[in-house]
Chain A
Amino acid sequence: MLVHLSRIKFGAFIILVAVLFIVAKNEVSSIRSVVKGNLNAVARLSDATRLDREFLNFVNLAHARYEGDMYVKPQELQMAFDLLWARVNTQLGSSYTKGIKSLEDGAGLIKELSESLKEIEPLVHNLANNDTSDMRAIELLDEKYSTPVSDLVQRAYEEMTNRSVNAASAQRTTALTLERLQWVFLLVGIIGFLMLRSELQGIRKLNEELTRQEAEIQNYAYTDSLTNISNRRHFDEQMARLSAEPVGIDAHLLLIDLDGFKQVNDRHGHSVGDELLAEVALRLRRAVGDANVLARIGGDEFGIILIAGEQQARATAATILASLQRPIELAQHTVLINACIGISGTRGRTACTTTLLREADTALYTAKASGRGQFQFYKDSPLVDQTASIVSFVTRTNRKSPSPT
């Protein structure tokens, strides 16, 4: 019964939406046709105005030529006539709804004008060639048409003005209707929303549960339970992801080794050592920020993947060292420790996990060798040259080795 009722409701809802949609569409298309009609009226006014101007231009030039004004060149007169000819015959050929023909008396006037132009055509030719023997037809053209043509412009102008007024009011009405429809649509939307809400809520709850469970399992698998930062597994996965990135990504690997952790552990016991590690992790997190990967990758060894350039890596390392050098207050003890940092960068290469780790490790070794509380970039490490020379030595010996053949 319930299902049946909701089906009827749903059907009614769909029909209501469909009807509203059709009404809205009709309103919009009626606006469009009003605007189109308006455009046609503008075109008519433009045509009538141009006809008027071109007619006067030709008549004036013909007069001037007749009066002996030799500044009016034959080509100029001919061009004026041709333009008028084109205008009139264009209007003759245009469809009824578009051109001047649709204006009151427009069609008859255009037809007559077209005939008259054909009649005076030979005269224009004569006039261009300075034969002014019979100009009566051109005089008559002026007498016959100049007033009707300018009246035509007036009518086109009036039509245009009326249309503008009508169109403006029509558009206002339609805009009002649409505005009202907007609210009806909103109402329909609310009904629809209420009908679907319980189902949507069910789905949302399921989704929330799914998200929560996913987060929990991720957290469990990727977090170091002692320090609440990433564990070795997460670190390794993130390193692998970095290796998959295209060449050119600017990233730095920071390996941090605590100095004095072992002593704290030995003197105060494991629980104090654990407390110390948790506090160190907090300080590291503050120095590194949430966006970068911070992991505990060994007993007292931490790793940071910094998606940043050398300058920021240097700044971060300095911040870390400064923060770790401050006394650490634990529940029952205040301890002092220190750390060394080894840094390797992608430097425009494709990040290779093993290379980055090896280089950072070498740099860390150098840092430790030069004393406590130091950071060292692999590229600046004095051991680099040594390694490089070993490599080149190996390459050289390989080359010098005799070939099997």
Chain B
Amino acid sequence: MLDRLLGALLFILLSLPANVSHATEPAPLFTIQGKIASPEAVTVTPSDFTKLAPFEIKTVVDTLGSGTHHVKGVLARDLLKHYGATGTVLRVTGLDGYVIDVPLNDLLQYDVVLANEIDGKELSVRDRGPAWLIYPVSQHPELDDPIYAARAVWQVTRIEVN
């Protein structure tokens, strides 16, 4: 825990001068709002992801062709914990206007990833990024189901904790 904390601190210290010199804000991934520690919506950026433990999983991804893929990002439950989420349901919205309610229980029960990288490639909007909610289907065959496929939102732009 402590070394992770120190690592994060070190990273922030190292990344600070770089940020200052480039003077550019990293492109936001999505916003998180609702029942979280902050009273206002928080914009989550890729650098916020690096504050959390990285998570990687090898799984088949629905609509990404056959075979398994290296899915990289953070555990969705870690992210929610980081922002002090207290609700039971997440209303996840995609850039294309797709909206679905994802039970928080899913994220506690399974290692659901908020992915921003697949097979070594950072996800663009065309790749259904910048963030994609991916269920560990290969690890849990019961997740190969229309219900979970519908919850695996891509192009995540907004997470509302209810």
Q: Which residues of A contact B (CB under 8 A)?
A: 36, 39-40, 43, 50, 54, 79, 82-83, 85-87, 89-91, 93-95, 98-99
Contacts and interface: CB of A to CB of B under 8 A. Distances in A.
A354 B62 CA distance: 74
12 contacts: A39-B146, A43-B146, A79-B95, A79-B125, A82-B125, A83-B95, A86-B126, A86-B127, A86-B154, A90-B128, A94-B63, A98-B149
B63 A86 contact: no
Given A90-B63, A99-B63, A85 B149 contact: no
Given A39-B147, A86-B155, A91 B63 contact: yes
Contact of A89 (B96, B126, B150, B155): B126
B126 A40 contact: no
Contact of A82 (B64, B126, B150): B126
Interface string B112-132: 000000000000111110000
Given A43-B150, A50-B96, A86 B65 contact: no
A109 B66 CA distance: 21
B25 interface: no
B3 interface: no
Contacts of B127: 86
Given A89-B126, A94-B63, 15 more contacts: A43-B146, A50-B97, A54-B96, A82-B126, A83-B95, A83-B96, A83-B125, A83-B155, A86-B125, A86-B154, A90-B128, A90-B154, A93-B64, A95-B63, A98-B63
A242 to B, nearest CB: 43
Contacts of A43: 146, 149-150
B146 A87 contact: no
B145 interface: yes
Contact of A85 (B126, B145, B154): B126
A83 B124 CA distance: 10
Most buried by A among B95, B126, B127, B154: B126
B10 to A, nearest CB: 35
Nearest to A39: B146
Contacts of A94: 62-63
A70 B129 CA distance: 27
A82 B145 CA distance: 27
Contacts of A99: 63
Nearest to B125: A82
Contacts of A86: 96, 125-128, 154-155
Contacts of A54: 96
Contacts of A93: 63-65
A39 B146 CA distance: 6
Interface in B146-161: 146-147, 149-150, 154-155
B143 to A, nearest CB: 14
Interface in B27-75: 62-66
B95 to A, nearest CB: 6
B62 A82 contact: no
A97 to B, nearest CB: 11
A78 B127 CA distance: 14
B64 to A, nearest CB: 5
Among all A-B residue pairs, the 7 with the closest Cβ atoms: A39-B146, A82-B125, A94-B63, A93-B65, A85-B126, A90-B63, A82-B126
B124 A82 contact: yes
A43 B127 CA distance: 20
Contacts of A39: 146-147, 150
Contacts of B96: 50, 54, 83, 86-87
Contacts of B98: 50
